[in-house]
Amino acid sequence: MGSTRARIAIDAMGGDHAPAEIVAGALRAQEELDVEVLLVGDPHQIEASLGQHTSSHLPQIVPSEGTIEMHEEPLSGLKRKPKASINVAMDLVKQKQAQAVVSAGHSGAAMASALLRLGRLRGIDRPAIGAVLPTMIASKSVLILDVGANVDCRPKYLEQFALMGSIYSQYVLGIDVPKVGLLNIGEEECKGNDLAVRTYQRLQDNSQICFTGNAEGRDVLTGNFDVVVCDGFAGNILLKFAEAVGEAVLQILQEELPQGLCGQIGTALLKPNLRRIKQRVDHAEHGGCLLLGVGGICIISHGSSQAPSIFNAIRLAKEAVDNQVLERIQSQDISAKQSTVGE
């Protein structure tokens, strides 16, 4: 591609605030993160949004036709609209013209398009959506997967999630030996439903995974685990609840700050602390979720994403590219590392 900078394809038409907020976040990322962005979408709408900003280096626009609406069924929508923005963005990665995709559009369509165009990695039966959340320990995060790609799972899928999550945690989050936990309703080995009990055995028997036992809901954000695996049904509920708690904390802080002159002085003094609190608990600061297990780097952002969230999603994509997450997962023979315990 003639450049050492990460090249990121942005679905400029995906999301509630597209393309204006998507373009704003992409421009900021290009200026501050040393990345090259490709804006995929309707050229006229994108150009109008670009006209609201001043930039020394305008991104390349890649034309597309239409987008997959939230009410559309993903597969049928992708087939009816082969030149939809998410399809064109995925094709850029497939054709090696970009190294990653960021989309705030229909998450089901993004996942389906990635599977159809990029395919699954060797040894991966089901890709997983992973979310990086803050913990009670400053500067430490936990990777939770799956948070929505697979509502129904088999034990070997969760084992694959644990292997992929460990690789990501090691090379991007900087954890030498990532500790893996299994989301469950109790610490004991015998607790949980059939999926949890059988998965526990597979994780325990896999020497490639540093499995440290079950993680109850109250344990997820303690910092005791680096990776927590679960099926997409429970994971999606967990993710959205965690995001709601973060929003509630910010609102409560805002409501409880003293009013009047004393409040203004106190708020001014606390401003750096409040900013750090927001960075730790606001989901917009984390940008989006990773789709791990497909043949490309894909970041799925919230449909409500605005410029700051898109900026952070691009940062997340850049980190995955710079740390060669895809290549590292590909180089690991995950199929050979899986347990032989019954599936």
Cα torsion 111, 68, 49, 89 to 10°: value is 40
pLDDT of residue 3: 47
Residue 212 banded pLDDT, cuts 50, 70, 90: very high
State yes or no: pLDDT of 2 exceeds 60: no
Percent of the chain with pLDDT over 90: 71
Cα three-residue angle 315-318-321, rounded to 5 degrees: 155
Percent of the chain with pLDDT over 70: 87
State yes or no: pLDDT of 116 exceeds 50: yes
**What are the structural domains, with CATH classification, of the chain?**
7-121+294-315 (3.40.718.10), 128-248+276-280 (3.40.718.10)
What number is the average pLDDT over the span 255-264?
A: 67
What number is the average pLDDT over the span 99-111?
A: 95
Residue 250 banded pLDDT, cuts 50, 70, 90: confident
Q: Residues 176-189: pLDDT tens digits?
A: 999 999 999 999 99
Report how far residue 131's alpha carbon sits from residue 55's, in angstroms, rounded to the nearest whole number: 32
Q: Residues 133-148: pLDDT tens digits?
A: 888 888 889 999 999 9
Q: Is 333 helix (H, G, I), strand (E, B) or coil?
A: coil
Q: Are 239 and 143 in contact (CB under 8 A)?
A: no
pLDDT of residue 134: 87
State yes or no: pLDDT of 269 exceeds 70: no
pLDDT of residue 5: 86
pLDDT averaged over every residue in the chain:
89
Report how far residue 340's alpha carbon sits from residue 52's, in angstroms, rounded to the nearest whole number: 57
Residue 4 banded pLDDT, cuts 50, 70, 90: confident
Helices (H), the chain: 20-32, 43-50, 74-80, 85-94, 107-118, 155-171, 194-205, 232-256, 260-281, 307-322, 325-331, 334-337
State yes or no: pLDDT of 103 exceeds 80: yes
What number is the average pLDDT over the span 290-316?
A: 93
Report how far residue 304's alpha carbon sits from residue 318's, in angstroms, rounded to the nearest whole number: 21
Residue 206 banded pLDDT, cuts 50, 70, 90: very high
Question: Residue 102's closest CA among 30, 4, 51?
Answer: 30
